[in-house]
Amino acid sequence: MVMGNYNKIIEKISKASGLKQEEIERRVEAKRAKLSGLISKDGALQVVAAELGINFENEKFKLDELLPGMRKVNVIGKIISIFPVRSFEKNGKGGKVANFTIADETSNMKVVLWDTHHIDLIERGKVKEGSVVEIINANMRENEIHLGSFSEFKPSTEIIENVNTTKIIKQKKIFDFKPNESIGVRAFIVQSFEPRFFNVCSQCKKKVTPEGENFLCAEHGVVAPEKRALINVVLDDGTETIRAVLFHENIPKIGITALEDVSLLTQQRENLLGKEMVFSGNVRTNKFFNTQELIIDEVNEVNLNDLISSLENVA
């Protein structure tokens, strides 16, 4: 949870109810205690707001004010990226889903469309990258905005010039990881696996498939391949463990430089065990194992000054 977002909602509830912020905080903690801590602070805050008869149906939120579990969300944002529309089949019926990212001056967030009428606006080019759109009556699922058939999705005449496109990374414990989050975590490497190799297109860097003596790229045809590697490690931060994946450019950052020198690689892998570092990346569900895994985007050494400061703040 981002405390800035949480505190903003506290302020909104305080103004709407006339209660002091301290009293709302007390009710949140009382609600959590009653449920033996099984509900998050975000969730407890939503319950407290509902008990006070407060809803935000007619209010437009900034993206950094949205919290998991919110319903009937209204926002305006500029589309900064659109992903291809995907088709699927469920219970014998076909459907479509579309994903894109919107941004305002405060933050950016993924949006998921399930209604074919909404998706049609993208397919016909009525909304595209750079379009400002209005979303009404959507729901928050984890850290994504989801629109169903009762939601509204339409172009907006509002002008948004300066948007926050910085990737939002939350510092979290592994125990609290959720799929599709961008997170940062300080953790120990407790296990490593042999590197795996694959080939990519030298132009677009996408995976290529062998075809006879050649390698075929879906976009560029027959290409001269580049050999790449990935390594799986297991991270432990004291709350839980998670399997993580490092791709070619990030492997040296953990101290692995001898990918094809067996004896040196063995030594470097042994040196990894127990190493504490700061990892950031995206959490996804591994469909083969049906478990969460972390796709690592960045690796950094632990900054002792930052660590000391954080411990002092806790104290």
- The answer to which of 40-44, 191-195, 271-275 has the lowest mean pLDDT is 40-44
Residue 222 within a domain? no
Residue 219 within a domain? no
Q: How does pLDDT run across 19-61, given as a tens digit for each residue?
A: 999 999 999 999 888 887 677 787 788 788 888 887 766 778 8
CATH code, domain carrying 148: 2.40.50.140
Cβ–Cβ contacts within 10 Å for residue 307, how many?
13
Q: Which residue range forms the structural domain that includes residue 303?
A: 170-199+228-314
Q: Are residues 26 and 126 in the same domain?
A: no
Q: Which amino acid is at 146?
A: H
Which candidate, 33, 119, 134, 118, places its Cα nearest to that of 84? 119
Average pLDDT value for the chain: 87
The SS3 of residue 42 is: helix
Task: Compute the average pLDDT of residues 175-190.
Answer: 89
Number of independent structural domains in the chain: 3
Residue 163 within a domain? yes
Q: Are residues 60 and 34 in the same domain?
A: no
- What sign results for the dihedral spanned by CA atoms 270, 273, 274, 279? positive
Residue 1 within a domain? yes
Q: Are residues 145 and 181 in the same domain?
A: no
Q: Are residues 66 and 43 in the same domain?
A: no
Residue 275 within a domain? yes
Q: Are residues 84 and 155 in the same domain?
A: yes
Give 65-88 as a DSSP string: G--TT--SEEEEEEEEEEPPPEEE
Q: Are residues 41 and 74 in the same domain?
A: no
Q: Are residues 3 and 63 in the same domain?
A: no
Q: Tell me which of 54, 78, 94 is where a domain ends.
A: 54
Interhelix angle 41-51/3-17, rounded to 10 degrees, is 10
Residue 315 confidence (pLDDT): 45
Q: Are residues 6 and 121 in the same domain?
A: no
Tokens of 254: 């953990």
218 pLDDT band, cuts 50/70/90, is confident
Q: Are residues 177 and 306 in the same domain?
A: yes
